[in-house]
Chains A and B, each alone.
Chain A
C-alpha cells in the first residue's frame, strides 16, 4: 500500500460537528492529495499539498480545509460536517518519478 495509512477507516458523525481525517506516509514524498469518491462522480480532488505548509484547493474544496506541518502527515478537516459530505475519502501521494499516484485504503465517512 505504498506506505500510506489513513485514519480513521470508518467514522459516523453528526451534522454540524468538525471532523479531521489523517493521512500518514512513510515514503517521504513531496506531493499529497485528498480525494472524495462518490457514485456518479468518480474521484474528485479536494485539496493537495506540494510541500510542508504549501497547500492548494482542488475542484471541490468548499467546506474543507487542510494542513501539512510535517512531510509525512496531511490532515483534512471538515469544519462543520454536512450530509453532502458523506463519502469515501482517499489520500494519495506522488513521488518525483512517473505520473502515478499511490492511494491509501480510504476513510468511509457518514454524516447523519
Chain B
C-alpha cells in the first residue's frame, strides 16, 4: 500500500470545465501538501502548497486539505487548454524535509478546446 494514492486518470474535459484532482494518504504526520504541474518532457513545477487543513486559492486554482479524512484536492476553474499537463500531489511532515516529499503517481489532464 502506497503512502500517497492519486486518482490515476487520465482525465479529459472540455475547455471551461471545473476539474477536480484528488489524493489520499495514510501518514498522519504529513503537514505540508503540495501540488506540482508537469508539462510533457519537462520537470515538475510547484503550483501551490498548503500547511495543515483548510483551503488556499490562487487565481483559478484552489487547494483543499481535509486531514480528518486524509484527503486533498486541487480544483481548477474555467479550465484552459494550457492546463493540459500531469498534476502531482506531494506531501511532507515538515517544511525542512519538503524536498524529500512523498509524491503521488500523477494524474494526466487534457483540456480540449
Could you tell me which A residues sit within 8 Å of B by CB distance?
Answer: 1, 4, 31, 33, 40-45, 48, 58, 90, 92-94, 98-106
Could you tell me which B residues sit within 8 Å of A by CB distance?
Answer: 6, 32, 34, 41-46, 49, 88, 90, 92, 95, 98-101, 103-106
Q: Other CB < 8 Å A-B pairs besides A42-B88, A93-B99, A103-B44, 9 of them?
A: A43-B44, A43-B90, A92-B99, A94-B98, A98-B98, A99-B32, A100-B46, A105-B42, A106-B41
Q: Kindly identify which residue among A48, A90, A93, A98 contacts B95, using a CB–CB cutoff of 8 Å.
A: A98
Q: Which residue of A lies closest to B6 (CB)?
A: A42
Among A44, A58, A100, A103, chain B packs the most CB atoms within 10 A around the CB of A100
- Given the contacts A41-B105, A42-B104, A98-B49, A90 and B44 also touching, CB distance less than 8 Å: yes
Q: Are A103 and B100 in contact (CB under 8 A)?
A: no
- Note all chain B residues with C-beta closer than 8 A to A4: 43
Q: Kindly identify which residue among B42, B46, B100, B105 contacts A48, using a CB–CB cutoff of 8 Å.
A: B100
Complex Cα distance, B64 from A13, in Å, reads: 44
Q: Which residue of A lies closest to B32 (CB)?
A: A99
Complex Cα distance, B26 from A92, in Å, reads: 25
Q: Are A31 and B44 in contact (CB under 8 A)?
A: no
Q: Are B49 and A100 in contact (CB under 8 A)?
A: yes
Q: Are A101 and B103 in contact (CB under 8 A)?
A: no
